Each structure stands twice: as C-alpha cells, then as structure tokens.
Amino acid sequence: MWLLCLLFLTVFCQNQAQNQAVLSHSMDSGGRCHYTFTVASPEESSCSGSSTNPQTDAVLSRLTVLEDLVGRLMADRGNSEENLQEAYSQVTRERNQLQQDKERLSKQVQELQRTLAVLSQEAETLRRRPCQQTQTSGEFQHKNRPADPADDSRNGAYQEMKAEVTVVPASHLIPEGNHNITGCGELLSVGDPVLHRKADSITGKYGVWLQDPEPQGPLYTNKTVWRVDAVGKDVRQIFVYEDMDQFSRGFPMKVLVLPEPLESTGATLYRGSLYYQRRRSRTLIRYDLASESVASRRDLPQAGFHGQHPYSWGGYTDIDLAADEQGLWAIYSTSKAKGAIVISHLDPMSLEVRKSWETKIRKKTVANAFMACGRLYTVGSYMATNTTINYMFDTASGEGRATSVPFKNKYGYNSMVDYNHAQRKLYAWDNFHMVTYDVRLGRVSRGSS
C-alpha cells in the first residue's frame, strides 16, 4: 500500500517543478487513500479573492498611465497639434498593449483550466482505485497501467533477446556508397537527442509529435509540426504549428479536435492523414487533416489493446503505427503470437492488412519500436540514459536478429519514438521534452566469420 502511495507521490513531486502542482495524501480510518491536488499559479488571479498577481498589477498600472494621459489630453486641449498627435499615438499603443495582455492572460487561464481538468481526472482515477499492494519487483509501473493479471512474461518458454547481443565493430560499418542520401539501408547509428520544445504543463508528460514525411499540401507542408498531448482520458486535441520555430516557441496556429478520442502514443502522420488507435479498441482511424474528418476506419484483426500487449513503458502502448519509405505499418501483438511483436503492412487508404510478419521478440520486453526502410527496430529501455536499439527484423527477408546500436534517453522517460524518412530523423517524446535524433543508414558488412 505504502509502495503505491510513495510511487504516486514521487511522480507528482517530479511534476511539481514544472507545474507548481502539489499532491498531498492521507489515509482515513477506512484504510482508503485520499489525494489532494493543489495548483498554485502565479498567473492565476481568479482562484482566490486576493490580487497579488504581478501581471494584473502591471495591467492596472498601465491603466493608470492611460488615465493620466487622458487627463493630460483634456488639460492640454489648447496645446499644439503635434503634442496632441503624439499623445494620441501613445494612447493607441497602450490600448494595443492592453489588448495583447488581455489575450495572453485569457490564454493562460484556458491553459490552467485544461490542467485542472486533467488533474481532476487523474484524481478521480486514483480515488476509484483501492490502495493495494503492487508487485514487489523493482520495475517501474506506469501510473495509468493496471497490473496485468495475464502477465506471463517472466516464466515460460520465451527466449528473450538480451543474451545474444552481438556488437558490430565500428570498422565494419560502411556508409552506403558515397553518401547515397536517398538510399535505404540498415541503421548504423543514432545521434544525440536535439531538444525542440519542453512541455509546460502536466498534460505534456508524454505524447506524440511529428511532421508529415509525405505531406499532400497546399494547406499543410513538410514544415508543419503536429503535437498531441496524450495524458488524460479524452485525448482529442491536435495542436498544429506553422513550422519548427513556432513549435519551439509554443505558438500553435490551430487546434483540431478529433471526433473520437485517441489512445496512447502510437499515432503517426502520413500523406496528409493522422493515423491513430481509437481509445479502448483495436479500431484504427484515418483522420484526414485537410478536411478534418474521418476518412476510413477498420479493426486491426486480433490486435491486443488497452494494456494487453504494451511496450515495457506501459501506458496502453499496444498498437503502434509507423510510416517509412515503404508505407504504413502497425506494430502490435495478438494472443496467437503470445505477446511477440507482429508487424503488419497496411493499405494507407483502407487500413486493410496487406501482409503480416511475426517476430521472435516479446513486445513487453522492449521500450518502443519504429520502422525504417521496411525494417523494425526496437529500443531496449525507456529509462536508461544509455540504452541500445537491441533488435532488428527485416520484412524483406522475414529474418530478425539482435543488434546493439547505442541510443540515449536523455530525460529518463521516453514514451514515443517514430522515424521520419523525409527528415531522416527519429522523433521522440522524453519526459516533457520533444526531441529529434539524426540517424545514419547504410550497409552493415558482417564479413565471412
């Protein structure tokens, strides 16, 4: 019981730095945990009657200046035309500034209301769940993920991959030709993460952010950036940014609202559509971004969902969609495959499965996966600063093998990794941080030994 309480406390104390959200808890005589959230924001004036808000004060003092100016204007009525002009334009500037301040403040209020809504939801979830002992393994359990009673991964006939990792010496890595940029190949290396944006509210702990590798224009281009905060139960908002610069500054140009909620961090963007898994179902949805409507929907046959076959990160990451040079893919598992990763090549229009492959790597043992050049790659850990891309499965040959390409989780909680073939980068969402990694593809020479 205390383990669980301590865990929640840790998670929220971590968030406190970003959100000024404070969680306190106490046990009542009935043995139930009570959680209380407090959101203290220096920018929220409507919470209490007090007005010790520096921004409100700033607006008030500007108003005083404005009044003063108007007073002077009245008094100086006899003064020259020039003075009048100057005073007038100053008043105009002040008015515009006030207008901007007002807009900014109401945006902040909206943001705070959103945060409050999410916190209330999380509180509700916690309240409904009895305080019970979780398993005592040292493994971190995701807070939204119930303990899986069907977890059979620790015992049984399954061979995990970690024992047979072979290290490929650097001298055997041959970049394809003389920089064949368009050429596909195997993953040679992944660069250090480059930070583009840090989320500023609790809803940004994990999510999906992407650029379309094959945009259909003219409305949205290869510059457009898309972001979905995936914390919460009713995830529908897609933030659209004009370009990476606006994204980094946090200024969306538009917010689209999905007609049906999305689950987890497996969504992807491809040819002008957002592809995602509908909440609590194995239904895949193609949402056309230009017309802002559902263009097609289809169940992914036998796919596990909502905690049946997630990645080790948890978070209902059962169905992961991916796009690469060869099209659209789904990475998931089925009960027939007993938790092993299944890859399906999908028709991007109808979402029908064209062909499927069953791999020998258990989905729960890896942190994430992505497709590049028709090959699946899995990430070993979502927490370890230094981990590896530890397995590769080639759909062309139907063969898989262990790999050992270094990969960094700089911020310690990587919830999404997707490959973008136009940019030749991995996009990831690591503990509030939206990052990209450069990748090098080429031919791996394995000699004759």
Residues engaged in binding ligand NAG (CB under 6 A): 177, 180, 182-184, 222, 385-386, 422-423
SS3 label, residue 288? strand
Q: State the amino acid at position 219 in one-letter form.
A: L
Geometric angle at alpha carbon 332, from 331 and 337, rounded to 5°: 125
Residue 305, C-beta contacts closer than 8 angstroms, at least 6 positions apart: 263, 277, 280, 281, 282, 316, 318, 319
Nearer to ligand NAG, 79 or 386 (CB): 386
Supply 257's token pair: 């609202």
Residue closer to ligand NAG (CB basis): 37 or 411: 411
Place of tokens 């409305």: 219
**Whole-number minimum distance, CB 214 to ligand NAG, in Å?**
10
* Rounded least distance, CB 77 to ligand NAG, Å: 58
Least distance (Å) between residue 35 CB and ligand NAG = 32
Shortest distance, position 181 Cβ to ligand NAG, whole Å: 8
Nearer to ligand NAG, 198 or 410 (CB): 410
- Give whichever of 183 and 261 is closer to ligand NAG, judged by the CB atom: 183
Distances (CA, A) of 306 to 23, 206, 229, 284, 359: 27, 17, 18, 13, 21
Taking the least distance from each CB to ligand NAG, the nearer of 119 and 373 is 373
| Distance in Å, CB of 178 to ligand NAG, minimum | 8
Nearer to ligand NAG, 95 or 162 (CB): 162
- Minimal distance in Å, beta carbon 248 to ligand NAG? 15
CB of 107 to ligand NAG, least distance (A): 29
Query: What letters, b where the CB count within 10 A reaches 16 and e where it falls short, cover 254-290?
Result: eebebeeebbbbbbbbbbbbbbbbbbebbbbbbbebe
In the complex with ligand NAG, the residue whose CB is nearer, 317 or 395, is 395
Sign of the CA dihedral running 14, 15, 18, 22: negative
Separation CA 10–CA 8 (nearest Å): 5
Tell me the closest approach of the beta carbon of residue 345 to ligand NAG, in angstroms. 19
- Measured from the CB atom, the residue of 106 and 221 that comes closer to ligand NAG is 221
The H-assigned helical ranges of 80-186 are 81-128
Minimal distance, residue 343 CB to ligand NAG, in Å:
21
- Cβ closer to ligand NAG: 177 or 301? 177
Residue nearest ligand NAG (C-beta atom): 183
Structure tokens given for 170: 């650097």
Cβ count within 10 A of residue 196: 16
DSSP string, 33-98: EEEEEEE--TT--SSSS----HHHHHHHHHHHHHHHHHHHHHHGGGS-HHHHHHHHHHHHHHHHHH
Question: Where do we find the tokens 């035309």?
Answer: 81
